[in-house]
Amino acid sequence: MLIMLIMLIMLILLSGCASQPDDSLRCGVVSGYLDPDSSQDLYRAVVTHLDGKPVISKPNYRLSLGEHTFTFAELISAPSLQVKLAARTPKDLVVRVEANRRYHFAAQFNTDKRYRGHDSGFWQPVIWLEEAHACELPVK
Phi, psi values for residue 48, rounded to 5°: -105, -30
E strand spans, 51-138: 53-54, 60-64, 66-74, 82-83, 91-97, 101-109, 116-117, 123-132
Task: Record the pTM.
Answer: 0.80
Return left, alpha or beta for 100; rule: phi > 0 is left, psi -120 to 50 is alpha, else beta: left
Q: Quick one: pLDDT at residue 21? A: 56
The answer to the question of residue 76 being in a domain is yes
Q: Which domain holds residue 61?
A: 26-132
Q: Quick one: pLDDT at residue 113? A: 79
CA 25 – CA 95 distance, rounded (Å): 18
The answer to the question of residue 44 being in a domain is yes
The answer to the question of residue 137 being in a domain is no
The answer to the question of residue 75 being in a domain is yes
Please write the tens of the pLDDT for every residue from 75-125.
999 888 888 888 899 999 999 999 999 999 999 999 887 877 888 899 999
Q: Is 66 exposed, middle or buried (0-12, 13-18, 19+ CB in 10 A)?
A: exposed
The domain tally of the chain equals: 1
The answer to the question of residue 12 being in a domain is no
Give the pairing of strands 53-54 and 27-31: unpaired
The answer to the question of residue 72 being in a domain is yes
Contact between 117 and 83 (Cβ < 8 Å) = yes
Please write the tens of the pLDDT for every residue from 62-80.
999 999 999 999 999 988 8
